[in-house]
Amino acid sequence: MVYFSEKFGFAAMHKLWNDELSESRNFEVFGKCANPAGHGHNYVVEVTIKKPTGIETFRIGEFERIVDDELIKTLDHKNLNAEVAAFGKINPTVENIAFFAWNKLVGKFGEAVLHCVTVWETDKTYCSYYGR
């Protein structure tokens, strides 16, 4: 089995908030991500696929186009809470963004299989999702 990974970037803003919590508790739980005006990140997404050796139908250009069309264009320069329907009712945490990315990409790579999606919110904060 061969594993292939590539990193992609997108800039987006979000706000993390739970209406059932007080303002002070929201700031305790979510820190600066609870800013009422929201705030932005330069996210990095690493997409890893796996395929058996010897399959010559894999094309890097096609891989990049799929990730760009299915994921990056959906998230780049967006207010995740307001402009991405999936985050209308759930907080766009790094975990939820990784899960969202997986669901946008799974099954899109032909004979290659999605293995992992890792989303970096900052240089030190990231989440990897390997499917169910």
User: What are the catalytic residues?
Assistant: 33, 77, 121
Residue labelled with tokens 């990974």? 5
User: DSSP string covering 14-36, please?
Assistant: E----TTS-HHHHHHHHGGGG-T
* Ramachandran region, residue 107 (left: φ > 0; alpha: ψ -120 to 50; beta: rest): left
Distance (Å, rounded) from C-alpha 52 to C-alpha 16?
40
61 is written with which tokens? Answer: 């250009």
Q: Which residues is 120 bridged to in the sheet? A: 44, 126
